[in-house]
């Protein structure tokens, strides 16, 4: 195995600016040249009243479970807890479920809460199956304004009472490289996507900048998991990599494997 197997490979990182560095570091560690093109920006809600109401209820012990589906949700929850004058420990003994290892790590570091349920596959459907819901249990589900309804629906079907509430907004990103110019020159080898919202906003941004899905016809599109891949295919993007492990490390490993095979 080459020491730097992605040497000479130019890869686009579409993650929001505040959370892009981890993926960039992993890619550069394998020798890749990383192009920053933030597809999304994480934005606070204009009106936090509904979220604040559920946080106060959680502090009062109204919920049995807190279900968190991204590190962005964790950040938003920590921010609103502080704004309301609460420490994370005010959430008490609430049981916590996390969609994946990155979210679980954020919960541990920022909320100091024990994660009681985490699925083997890091998607909403698997998370719903991983939570040992009892009929009538109260579940708090803060999430992105763009979140799919499938998780709340599955938990309700399992007998839980689910309070789904918006925790943060998602906008179109700004900054980074003039990506259209790179595409026209044929100077992009791969584009990475880590969420469905990243895919959708990538296409919105690219079209605003006079680009199109056709620019990616000869580019390797790498998606962190099946939901993200489904979103990419819906935009006619040529998905070539969906790792079995739905993590940043898995995504990078998938890229390494792909380009090593292509080099043979």
CATH topology of domain 10-39+173-263: Rossmann fold (3.40.50)
Provide the token pair at 124: 């909403």
**Running DSSP on this structure, what letter comes out for residue 15?**
S
Q: Which helix H or strand E contains 128, and what residues bound it?
A: helix 124-130
Give burial (CB, 10 Å; 0-12/13-18/19+) of 47: exposed
Please report the sign of the dihedral spanned by the C-alpha atoms of residue 127, residue 128, residue 130, residue 134: positive
Report in angstroms the alpha-carbon separations of 204 from 28, 156, 171, 247, 264: 27, 33, 10, 25, 36
Nearest to 226 by CA among 121, 98, 154: 121
User: What global pTM score does this model have?
Assistant: 0.84
Stretch among 46-50, 121-125, 126-130, 235-239 having the lowest mean pLDDT: 121-125
Residue-level pLDDT at 3: 78
Q: Where are the domains of the chain?
A: 10-39+173-263, 49-171
Question: 49-171: which CATH topology?
Answer: Rossmann fold (3.40.50)
Residues with Cβ within 8 Å of 177's Cβ and at least 6 positions away in sequence, in order, are 35, 36, 37
Question: Do residues 24 and 181 make contact, with C-beta atoms less than 8 angstroms apart?
Answer: no
Instruction: Identify the band that residue 264 occupies on the pLDDT scale cut at 50, 70 and 90.
Output: low
DSSP strand pairing (10-13 vs 40-43): unpaired
Domains 10-39+173-263 and 49-171 share a fold: yes
Give per-residue pLDDT as tens, 137-187: 999 999 999 888 999 999 999 999 999 999 999 999 999 999 999 999 999
Q: Is the pLDDT of residue 2 over 60?
A: no
- CB-count burial class (<10 Å; 0-12, 13-18, 19+) for 96: buried
Mean pLDDT of 44-71: 96
Q: What residues have CB less than 8 Å from 61, skipping those under 6 apart?
A: 92, 94
Looking up tokens 């979140």, which residue turns up? 147
In order of 65, 124, 166, 173, the CA distances from 97 in angstroms are 7, 11, 17, 29
Using one digit for the tens of pLDDT, what is the confidence trace for 127-139?
889 999 999 999 9
Pull the structure tokens for residue 12: 């686009």
Report the C-alpha gap between 188 and 26 in whole angstroms. 18
């Amino acid at each position: 195995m080459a020491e730097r197997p992605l040497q000479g490979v130019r890869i686009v990182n579409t993650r929001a600016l505040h959370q892009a560095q981890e993926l960039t570091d992993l890619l550069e560690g394998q020798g890749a040249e990383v192009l920053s093109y933030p597809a999304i920006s994480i934005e606070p809600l204009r009106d936090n009243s509904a979220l604040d109401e559920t946080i106060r209820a959680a502090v009062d012990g109204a919920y049995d479970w807190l279900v968190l589906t991204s590190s962005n949700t964790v950040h938003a929850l920590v921010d609103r807890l502080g704004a309301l004058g609460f420490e994370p420990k005010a959430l008490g003994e609430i049981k916590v479920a996390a969609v994946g290892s990155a979210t679980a790590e954020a919960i541990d570091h920022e909320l100091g809460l024990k994660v009681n349920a985490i699925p083997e596959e890091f998607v909403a459907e698997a998370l719903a199956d991983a939570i040992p819901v009892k009929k009538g249990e109260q579940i708090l589900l803060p999430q992105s304004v763009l979140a799919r309804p499938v998780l709340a629906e599955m938990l309700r079907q399992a007998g839980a009472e689910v309070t789904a509430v918006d925790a943060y907004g998602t906008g179109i990103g700004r900054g980074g490289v003039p990506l259209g110019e790179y595409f026209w020159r044929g100077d992009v080898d791969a584009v990475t996507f880590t969420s469905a919202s990243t895919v959708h906003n990538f296409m919105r941004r690219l079209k605003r900048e006079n680009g199109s899905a056709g620019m990616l016809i000869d580019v390797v599109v790498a998606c962190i998991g099946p939901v993200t891949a489904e979103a990419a295919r819906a935009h006619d993007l040529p998905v070539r990599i969906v790792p079995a492990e739905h993590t940043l490390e898995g995504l990078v490993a998938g890229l390494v494997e792909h380009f090593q095979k292509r080099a043979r």
